[in-house]
Amino acid sequence: MLNTGRIALIAKIAFAISSLLLSTPAFADRIVTDQIGRQVHIPDAVNRVVILQHQTLNIAVQLDAMGKVVGVLDEWKKQLGANYVRLAPQLPNLAMPGGLTKVNIEELLRLKPDVVFVTNYAPAEMVKQIEDAGLAVVAISLLDVPPDEATKLNPNVKDEPAAIDAGFATGVRLVADILDRRKKAEEMIAATKKTRKLIADRLTDLSEDKRVPVYMANPELTTYGHGKYTGLMMQRAGARNVANAIAGFKQVTMEDVLAWDPAVIFVQERYPGVVDQIKKTDSWQTIDAVKNGKIYLMPEYAKAWGYPMPEAMALGELWMAKTLYPDHFADIDMQAEANAYYNIFYRTDYLPGQ
């Protein structure tokens, strides 16, 4: 029989073990700071994510992390373009539990994600709903602005180049850190810096009055002014954004466009119908760009979005600069440049028009 002393010792050991088990979490976790300044607890190992923002989804594809994605936003095809599926063939088979500003919480919970990525302007009640369900929510903006501006669709940006460059790098690193793709993220950031230096060096003598006036045409006369990446993209490529006076992404009038009279019109690849509309609509015919046939549907990689995308910074700005100033970039073969980038980050060649 056990004596009283041994019984007491065994009881103490059992108590110590049970206390240790109770004080140790079921899994290790860590804290990250998202791009609207929130401290978020996430599992140390993230294996299942839902992405409700197309910019983050595009970055995840390039980081080769789609094996961890179990759900995506419902408008991925509209936002990324119908041809994007060739770069991420699994997209049509993934669950779609919500979008930029809404979520189906029951469907989301069924996916059992470790982390849910949302846009910075996702409604506070949407974020709270996801958090109240016990899920980690990480907001991505790709912009470095004060907290009181961070959740706005059109934030007030004082120093656009600094805010976008810093926010882009921070956002890419945050997504890559969570998805365990840190090395690939640094390759991506380095590629953008290399291109920007090349363009800056070749346009160093371009005076402000020599910049080509450019308009970015979107459906329903929407366009980008200051405070958005598209404006900075134009600036770096040597263009003068005729809509720079407006803030953010907004609808303008035909009278505005006529008064601006751009020499070049760019249209995003995902909106090819806008090119035909401009060419066929009488009200556009007196504009300099239309009269001279300088309406360009941008290639797939030249994502002239409000948020900076890695391929837009590494390829799109170069394409735009070469289109506006061909003599300065006569030696640049955009097909070769695009193939090199696509092979590294999309693991395939770039196929124009596919």
Q: Which domains does the chain have, with CATH numbers?
A: 29-180 (3.40.50.1980), 196-345 (3.40.50.1980)
Look at residue 283 and tell me whether its pLDDT is greater than 60: yes
Taking 60 as the threshold, does the pLDDT of residue 268 lie above it? Answer: yes
Give per-residue pLDDT as tens, 177-189.
Answer: 999 999 999 999 9
Amino acid in position 195: T
Q: Model confidence at 22, in pLDDT bands (50, 70, 90)? A: very low
Q: Which of 23-27, 231-235, 278-282 has the lowest mean pLDDT?
A: 23-27
Is residue 219 within 8 A of residue 278, CB to CB? The reply is no
Q: What is the pLDDT of residue 80?
A: 92
Condensed to tens digits (0 to 9), the pLDDT of residues 103-133 reads 999 999 999 999 999 999 999 999 999 999 9
Q: For residue 27, give every residue at least 6 positions away whose Cβ sits within 8 Å of its Cβ, in sequence order, or none.
A: 43, 44, 45
Give me the mean pLDDT over the 168-176 stretch.
98
Short-list 91, 93, 98, CA closest to 113: 98
Task: Tell me the percentage of the chain whose pLDDT exceeds 70.
Answer: 92
Provide the mean pLDDT of the chain: 92
Kindly indicate the confidence band of residue 156, based on its pLDDT and cuts at 50, 70 and 90: confident
The region of weakest confidence among 5-19, 179-193, 240-254, 289-303 is 5-19
CA–CA separation, 82 vs 80, rounded Å? 7
Q: Dihedral sign, CA of 206, 207, 212, 213? A: positive
pLDDT at 18: 44
Average pLDDT over residues 1-7: 56
**38-71: pLDDT as tens digits:** 999 999 999 999 999 999 999 999 999 999 999 9
Prediction pTM value = 0.87
* Residue 19 CB-density burial (10 A; 0-12 exposed, 13-18 middle, 19+ buried): exposed
